[in-house]
Structure 1
């Protein structure tokens, strides 16, 4: 059994912050926990816009605080996000995430991330095997 609290994560290597200051990802469960998914408690800071394109992962996101929107870049469709809303990137959609107020999100990734990922120039995380190989 794995038992962790958010307080166990904050300030450790599992508490990852975007270089541009847009978000903080507190990574509760990772690939090395061997569950087949990873689980994150993520803060998206108010007034930010982040390009994201998880080419190698599927993600489900549940908003528990705040308001914002997701815009799919392929067709410009905008989806409002507020507490109680879930969105799932089941087609690896490239999107813009905008926070009108600070948002707190619970995120699940499959395959699970290793924990050291940050967004590349495309807004993607590289597959874990590439990270492990130092590519």
Structure 2
């Protein structure tokens, strides 16, 4: 059994801040935990924009609080995000994630699981394998 709290994970190497200053992510469950997926609590900061294109991962995201929007770059369609909204990047969808007037707190699941230290590259991609954080 694995038991962790968000508070303890925010105080160790599982807490990652983006180099762009647009988000942070607490990686609560990682590849090294051998569950076949990873689970993260991510904050998208208010009034920011992040280009993301997960070419190597599928992701589902549930907004727990805050507001913003996601723009599908293939179609140009913009979807509002608020508490209670789920979006799923089931086709490696390239998108812009925009924080609204409040920070968005998101629960995220990745498949395949992240190893822990991933950050977006210049194209918004996470590498398939990055340096691992020990369980």
TM-score range, shorter chain: over 0.9
- Matched residue SS, 1:114: coil
Distance (Å, rounded) in 2 between the aligned partners of 1:17 and 1:85? 24
- Matched residue SS, 1:117: coil
2:90 is the counterpart of 1:90 = yes
Match of 1:78 in 2: 78
Residue 7 (structure 1) shift = 1.1
Per-residue deviation, residues 7-42 of structure 1 (Å, max 9, x unmatched):
111121100000111001000000000000000001
Moved over 2 A (4+): none
Per-residue deviation, residues 73-132 of structure 1 (Å, max 9, x unmatched):
11111011000000000000000000102100000000000001000011010101xx35
2:33 is the counterpart of 1:33 = yes
**TM score, norm. by length of structure 2:** 0.94
Distance (Å, rounded) in 1 between the aligned partners of 2:84 and 2:114? 25
Distance (Å, rounded) in 1 between the aligned partners of 2:82 and 2:59? 17
- Matched residue SS, 2:107: strand
**TM score, norm. by length of structure 1:** 0.94
Residues matched between the structures, number: 130
Distance (Å, rounded) in 2 between the aligned partners of 1:20 and 1:11? 20
Q: Which runs of 5+ in 1 are unaligned?
A: none
What root-mean-square deviation, in Å, do the aligned CA atoms of Structure 1 and Structure 2 show?
0.7
Match of 2:125 in 1: 124
